[in-house]
Amino acid sequence: MLSGWDVVVIGTALLGYALVSGRLTGSPVTAAMIFVTAGYVAGSDVFDLLDVGIGSAELRLLAEITLALLLFSDAADLDTRRLVRESVVPARLLGLALPLSIVFGAGLAMLVFPDLLVFEAAALAVLLAPTDAALGQTVVADRRLPSTVRQGLNVESGLNDGVCVPLLVAALAFAELEEAPTFDGHVLVDLVEELVVAGVVGVLVAAVIATLSMAAVRRNWVQEGWALVIPLIATASAYAATVELGGSGFIASFVAGITYGRLLGPAAHRSTELTEQLGGLLSAVTFLLFGAVMLGRSFAGIDVRTVVYAVASLTVVRMLPVALSLLGSGARWPTTAFTGWFGPRGLATIVFALTVVEESGLTGTRRIVDVATVTVLFSVFAHGLTAPGLTDRYVRWFTTNEDTLTLETAEVAVRPRRRISPRSLLHRGAADV
């Protein structure tokens, strides 16, 4: 259980970053680097200021809440109509590169770690598949980049964690069955029930809350500050109700976000600003506790195979599927290499690893968590440090060759992210919905 001093340490780290955050904007030093490092220094390996275990309920709850908020806000902010029209890069990354990376990752895991069972290797590949654009924020926020590339990476990172949730649930279920083969059909039934419950509850909760919200906004019944709280209520309600009914709260959050976004349209983007910001704040705390709790534990058991797999996961296992998925799209090789490299692993991988610890009794749990931890650590620093330089280099190439390019020069209409006050939301919401 988090003590008062734990809260003080966490608050001090957040305050320290807040005070210099403006100075660090655009630099190679990212928030994730700072919080992971601060967490490790505050953890048991150095100053022992944070007393949190990897199996602690607080750590798991924090990670779950964080991912649920970000799944909902990312899904709600997705403009599905535009995505259908401008789907070349996102569709290839999600429809081809993602499954290929899981297949390649599972195959490599079975070669490098013979002690892992087939579905344990699959679970490792799935939890390492989601990308986290926040670790390469320089890339997705730099409007000098071709919009097709920037938005392709942004949409991919916003959706692939939601896509991977049911795959991880299935992989863990079959891994447990593989270890204790007592198949009687219940595993498949339970898996289907879990997915169906999540989908139904997510749609129903979001539809009811969105309908009530639109009706109240039209009548100017919503007080200023509460307008931005509604998506938080929708996320919490969908997640909690689904878990109580035996479904996956993550899938429910993702489905609820899509439903909420489709019903509210542009107003959903503005109303989820608080949800997104809160998710970002909790993400920082999660990275801090990741450094404090998971790094030292994994360093104790690290070996050459773990390092080899982590490096391969960030390079060939990611980049080769991306290259194959972009064949025939018109993308030049610098675009393919740039898109392939910027697939950082972060929050979703951490949460998925904690899920393996909490919900499965697999013999390969320690190996899976150690590999995931080292991969995230490498990604935090490798992608953060290389983002500014590689982005500048790619922009120079793009500017020089712009007249001869096809995919890279296709215009993608992007819904602008902008701050908006609750009062503005109230005044404009009825017209938007």
Give 419 or 304, the one with higher predicted confidence: 304
The pLDDT score that the predictor gives to residue 183 is 53
pLDDT averaged over the chain? 86
Q: What value does the mean pLDDT take over residues 198-213?
A: 96
Name the residue among 254, 38, 23 with its Cα closest to residue 159: 254
DSSP states of 355-377 as a string? HHHHH---TTHHHHHHHHHHHHH
Name the residue among 372, 382, 310 with its Cα closest to residue 342: 382
The yes-or-no verdict on residue 207 having pLDDT over 80 is: yes
Q: What value does the mean pLDDT take over residues 355-365?
A: 83
What would the pLDDT profile of 295-326 be if each residue is shown by its tens digit? Answer: 877 777 789 999 999 999 999 999 999 999 99
Give 362 or 122, the one with higher predicted confidence: 122
The pLDDT score that the predictor gives to residue 137 is 67
Tell whether domain 53-282+303-432 is in CATH 1.10.540.10.
Answer: no
pLDDT above 90 covers a percentage of the chain that reads 51
The yes-or-no verdict on residue 181 having pLDDT over 70 is: no
Locate tokens 């970002």: which residue?
280
Its pTM stands at 0.86
In whole angstroms, what is the distance from residue 296 CA to residue 212 CA? 48
The yes-or-no verdict on residue 423 having pLDDT over 70 is: no
The yes-or-no verdict on residue 340 having pLDDT over 60 is: yes
**E-only strand ranges, 7-46:** none
The pLDDT score that the predictor gives to residue 343 is 92
In whole angstroms, what is the distance from residue 104 CA to residue 312 CA? 10
The yes-or-no verdict on residue 237 having pLDDT over 90 is: yes
Degrees to nearest 5, angle at CA 43 with 287 and 313? 45
Most confident listed range (103-107, 262-266, 426-430): 103-107
Helix (H, G, I), strand (E, B) or coil at 243: helix
Domain limits of the chain? 53-282+303-432
**Structure token pair of residue 433:** 């919905």
Q: What value does the mean pLDDT take over residues 122-126?
A: 96
- Residue 429 banded pLDDT, cuts 50, 70, 90: very low
- Residue 419 banded pLDDT, cuts 50, 70, 90: very low
Name the residue among 78, 72, 80, 74 with its Cα closest to residue 233: 72
* Helix, strand, coil tally for the chain in percent (to 5): 75, 0, 25
- Residue 85 banded pLDDT, cuts 50, 70, 90: low
